[in-house]
């Protein structure tokens, strides 16, 4: 009998999840956005950023904020990295739009989307490479090794 490998995933602690959801609710009807900081696929922090697009249907991390976060992370020991980005779809589902896919510039990043269709928030994570979005499982804590 062969075991199937677990679905690729991301570890998203409950406090980080709550922070992202809270920002999405607070900034509606505009899309919220921010950066995910951690190591590998282990998210440790969500850094709320300004949506330079100021749009209900598009986000753009303010470039100065992106640079400032990168500079701050260089001072951490052990080092932390920007490992992804998050944004909201204030009246849509948590799936990448064609614009999200086209604008995905970092193939190694996690793309976390909060959808608020029907008023109830839902969150999903993706990896977007070469114009293709692949869903990632979201774990609230590290998986136990067997």
For the chain, list the domains and their CATH numbers.
29-126 (3.40.140.10)
Sheet strands (E) in 1-146? 9-11, 33-39, 42-49, 81-89, 110-115, 122-129, 132-139
What pLDDT was estimated at residue 117? 87
Q: What is the tens place of the pLDDT at every residue in 18-54?
A: 999 999 999 999 999 999 999 999 999 999 999 999 9
> Is the whole-model pTM more than 0.85?
yes
Kindly write down the DSSP assignment for every residue of 68-103, as one continuous string: HHHHHHTT-SS--EEEEEEEEETTS-SS--HHHHHH
Residue 123 has pLDDT above 70, yes or no: yes
């Amino acid at each position: 009998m062969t075991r199937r490998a677990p679905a690729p995933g991301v570890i998203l602690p409950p406090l980080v999840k709550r922070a992202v959801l809270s920002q999405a609710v607070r900034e509606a009807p505009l899309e919220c956005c921010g950066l995910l900081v951690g190591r590998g696929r282990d998210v440790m922090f969500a850094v709320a950023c300004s949506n330079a697009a100021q749009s209900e249907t598009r986000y753009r991390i303010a470039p100065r904020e992106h640079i400032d976060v990168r500079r701050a992370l260089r001072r951490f020991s052990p080092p932390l990295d920007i490992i992804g980005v998050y944004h909201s779809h204030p009246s849509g589902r948590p799936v990448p739009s064609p614009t999200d896919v086209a604008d995905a510039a970092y193939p190694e990043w996690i793309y976390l989307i909060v959808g608020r269709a029907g008023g109830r928030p839902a969150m999903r994570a993706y990896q977007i490479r070469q114009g293709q979005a692949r869903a990632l499982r979201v774990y609230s804590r590290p998986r136990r090794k067997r």
